[in-house]
A and B are shown apart, each in its own frame.
Chain A
Amino acid sequence: MDVPIIELTDVKKSFGPVSVLKGVSLKAYPGKVTALVGDNGAGKSTLIKGLAGVQPYDEGTVKFDGEVVHLSNPREASHLGIEVVYQDLALCDNLDIVQNMFLGREETEWGTFDEGEMERQASETLRSLSVRTVKSVRQKVSSLSGGQRQTVAIARSVLKSARVVILDEPTAALGVAQTEQVLSLVKRLAENNVAVIMISHNLVDVFQVADYINVLYLGQMVAEIETAKTTSDDVVGYITGSKTYGGAA
């Protein structure tokens, strides 16, 4: 449990003269939810894009399962089992749930779709996440609520043996009940031994599901704390820079 599946050490990224990540370290553990918080412009998205292989880091090492890896494109990241669920869900409204979950990686036989196989896998994945709010896996995504759409997006990410799932603001723009649904889904992901990295602005959500809280402030990781050993006030302090974390290495 103490072996991180993802370990970033001193990663740096700059865009021209602007240095966005100034030597950031991050660990994520299988079966744990690691929250990544920080104000706008702190570098959360840049950190995530590096892990997803969309924008590779300039410097620093990335260890996956204890081995140094180079994430230079999204394909390599997803090959390792790193999946990202972006904030603007990236689902196709005109396709149904199964079609969305398998988009870009359809099961085929003789070049034609094996719809039965896809439907079963989609259904099983949703069941493994204890999703009960979806009536039919052949519903069009346009007919789903915000929470259900988030559910489909997350289920899509774990369909193919994901080991690390990165969630970008999964509860933004959701109502109370739907937020609750998605948060329990996040917990269930972790129970299934997935390492979850969750970006969020909502500290209530973070304290509800996260095992660890990492705070980014102006491109530096200013705090890495176990959720149980801190308070919301402290975290707000770290985020705004009005407090410094004594134990930060």
Chain B
Amino acid sequence: MSDSKNAPTKGRGIKTMTPVDDTTALPASGLIGSGMEGGLVDQVRAYLSRVRGGDMGALPAVSGFVVLSILFSLLSQYFLTERNFANLLTQAAPQIMLAMALVFVILLGEIDLSAGTTSGVAMALFVVLSFPGGLNLNWVVALLIALAAGVAIGLFIGFFVARVGIPSFVVTLGLFLGFQGLQLLIIGTGGLYRITNDQVDAIQNKNLLPWMGWVMLAIMLIVSGVSAFVDRRRRARAEVPNRTIALVWIKLGLILVLGGIFVYVLNQNRGQVNILNGQVVSGQVIEGVPIVVPIVLLVMWAGTFVLDRTRYGRYLYAIGGNAEAARRAGIKVVGIKWAAFAICSTLAVVSGLFTASKNGSVDASFGHDTVLSGVAAAVVGGVSLFGGRGRLVHAAVGALVISVITNGLGLLNLGGGINLLVTGGVLILAATVDAVSRVRAGGSITRT
């Protein structure tokens, strides 16, 4: 790529200088393996051996989600209803967004304890700016200002962590306290602002039209398919082996079937129906995928794209794995960290927007108690707090697990005490599964 004028040997590597006898004969088979060879059976076997080796990804969390869902559906007749399904999603959405926000800093081995209060400050700004009786700014302008506040807060944190070199735990703990005060100053003691804006209200309380759900699914299929085939074409062009194409079809098939069920269930009418003398007398039709769902999916897709396929994402993982190695490789560690905190705080504001939409109001204590459950969600999903390991989808699954506990126990009329106990237990269980699997993999617990 950046060959200097002084380097006469064109191309890359030293292979062009002296041909090595045993590789010239068969270039394709001369390559070292990449684990992508073989048919479906080989791939399944390789996957199973990776899992046995401790590289489980989101598997424990997904299993946990399935087990809990089965358990609650046996215990409560309301759990497996269309309405509860939609409810679960809207309850989980803020937590999913917050957990995904935190992944960006957790990957670096850092933490942002102020993410919840950041969302509180930004949403306080939003409601004060947009309140009809007050400044009455256009809601889009107010939202942009709230998001900009998120960016600014992230840059502020990043300055102290990346530039000055203070541990993020300390910086964000300070801000966690400070922002509670700032929020109180913005909102005023005892103040509470209702969300009067229809668009913000709609995020969590309105649904896509049924056909839009199907369009959403179609877009997901197309995007997954196209990116899979672009990847395959690039690998083929470089003459390295591709995974068997059956895997692509299986993946697309799973998206089609599971996504199809998802959209179909949510497209059923889940409104309250009152029947008198065999006739429907009242009842509002509620159907369609909640509007928050495509927003979450879009952020997840964009974030995953950045983390998996761009330099920025790769460098986040590299810094989380070995910051010194990253620095020696010429990576601008300070800038990358700085940006990660900005992304985290901004997405935390989006999470706050979801919560505000769900609650219908913002008060002086809004967002104060959310951050630790966001961290818990990420850890339950399999994101390592030591940095360098984890994906956005892990955080999302973790948040779903925690939400399903809250949701299910609520349906069983078990109060907040039990809920917190169970959630804490699941967190420790998840961390144990992670640690044990890594010991079995031969790695140290503290190392990724």
Contacts and interface: CB of A to CB of B under 8 A. Distances in A.
A109 B329 contact: no
Interface residues of A, number: 61
B318 to A, nearest CB: 5
Contacts of B22: 130
Interface in B412-448: 441-443, 447-448
A191 interface: yes
Interface string A116-130: 110111011111101
A139 B329 CA distance: 20
A57 B23 CA distance: 42
Contacts of A108: 310-311
Contacts of B325: 89-92, 103
B31 A192 contact: no
Nearest to A125: B13
A234 interface: no
A242 interface: no
A92 B322 contact: yes
| Dominant secondary structure at the B interface | loop
A142 B13 contact: no
A93 B234 contact: no
Interface stretch (B33-41, B255-263, B282-290, B369-377): B33-41
| Dominant secondary structure at the A interface | loop
A86 B33 contact: no
Interface string A78-106: 01110000101111111100010001111
B318 A105 contact: no
B198 interface: no
A79 B6 contact: yes
B314 A106 contact: yes
A123 B6 contact: no
Contacts of B23: 124, 127-128
Interface stretch (B123-131, B155-163, B237-245): B237-245
A138 B235 CA distance: 14
A120 B33 CA distance: 10
A95 B311 CA distance: 13
A75 B20 contact: no
A229 interface: no
A116 B238 contact: yes
Contacts of B441: 143
Given A95-B318, A121-B13, A136-B32, A114 B448 contact: no
A194 B330 contact: no
A117 B329 contact: no
Interface string A209-248: 0000000000000000000000000000000000000000
Interface stretch (A6-14, A37-45, A160-168, A198-206): A160-168
Contacts of B33: 135-137
Contacts of A162: 14
A80 B1 contact: no
Given A92-B317, A137-B32, A161-B14, A81 B237 contact: no
Contacts of B2: 79, 105
B228 to A, nearest CB: 13
B30 interface: yes
Given A80-B6, A109-B234, A194-B14, A120 B240 contact: yes
Given A104-B331, A125-B13, A136 B35 contact: yes
Contacts of B14: 125, 128, 158, 161-162, 189, 192-194
B328 A161 contact: no
Contacts of A115: 231, 234-235
A19 to B, nearest CB: 27
A138 B34 contact: yes
Given A105-B329, A124-B31, A130-B22, 6 more contacts: A90-B325, A92-B388, A104-B331, A113-B314, A119-B240, A128-B15
Interface of B: 1-4, 6-7, 9, 11-15, 17-18, 20, 22-23, 30-36, 231, 234-240, 305, 309-311, 314, 317-318, 320-322, 324-326, 328-331, 388-389, 441-443, 447-448
20 contacts: A88-B324, A92-B317, A94-B317, A95-B317, A103-B318, A103-B331, A115-B235, A116-B235, A116-B236, A116-B240, A117-B237, A119-B235, A119-B238, A124-B30, A128-B23, A142-B443, A142-B447, A142-B448, A160-B12, A161-B3
Interface of A: 64-65, 74-75, 79-81, 86, 88-95, 99, 103-109, 111-117, 119-121, 123-128, 130-131, 134-139, 142-143, 158-163, 189, 191-194
